[in-house]
Amino acid sequence: MSGRGRLIVISGPSGTGKTSICEALLAQLPGAAWSVSATTRAPRAGETNGGAYEFVTREAFASREAAGAFLESAEYIGERYGTPRAPIESALAKGRHVILEIDVQGGIQVAERKPDSVRIFVLPPDMASLRARLEGRKTEADEQLARRLAEADGEIATARDSGAYRYFVVNDDLDSTIDEVKRLIEQESGQS
């Protein structure tokens, strides 16, 4: 691997395609590592412990948080999410890129604590396509879906106002968005 490993933050409203972008980055960036977040939310169908997430109780989350085990943590629609610090430090020390798919509150904390991270916010082309995507993936009950859509405007405004994100990428075509994000990361890590 040439260049150095970077902490890469990918944020954006639920349904913007962040997860697909992160999966492509993991497959295509040599040596990239995925940060497995801890969360108190229930697993969706097909989600296994230790895959996208480590599923924990609120008590376990709180005691790890109190022990300083998280680089950042947030509450999103009533559930806790946090990024374990140790695996990130160890991957970065080996020169690997580490990919964090986290919400905007987490992105702001990482901007403060790891200013040399690369922070990218993924925008939907418009709100109608965001709704269509969320409805189409059928992973949430109606009430959850409405709450996620209701969050989106505020998340985008917070991302813009906070100054935590250097890059905003509109995901209207997944393949070109992946190429664009890869190009930004390579540019930031001195590989282009």
Interface ranges with ligand 5GP (CB under 6 A): 14, 37, 41, 72, 74, 76, 81-83, 101-103, 105-106
Q: Which is nearer to ligand 5GP, 14 or 171 (CB)?
A: 14
Closest to ligand 5GP by CB, 102 vs 185, is 102
Shortest approach of ligand 5GP to residue 124 CB, angstroms?
13
Chain residue whose CB lies nearest ligand 5GP = 106
Q: Decide whether 77 or 126 has the Cβ nearer to ligand 5GP.
A: 77
Q: How far apart are CA 123 and CA 20, in angstroms?
A: 14
Question: d(Cα 90, Cα 157) in Å, to the nearest integer?
Answer: 33
Residue 46, Cβ neighbours under 10 Å: how many? 8
Instruction: State the minimum distance, in angstroms, from the CB of residue 121 to ligand 5GP.
Output: 11
Please calculate the CA angle 84-90-92 and round it to the nearest 5 degrees.
Answer: 100
Which one, 3 or 84, has the nearer CB to ligand 5GP? 84
Nearest-5° Cα angle at 161, 92 to 180: 50
Q: How far is the CB of 133 from ligand 5GP (least distance, A)?
A: 12
Min dist CB 154 to ligand 5GP, Å, is: 12
Pairing of strands 79-84, 37-39: antiparallel
What is the smallest separation between the CB atom of 83 and ligand 5GP, expressed in angstroms?
A: 4
Q: In the complex with ligand 5GP, which residue's Cβ is closer, 17 or 82?
A: 82
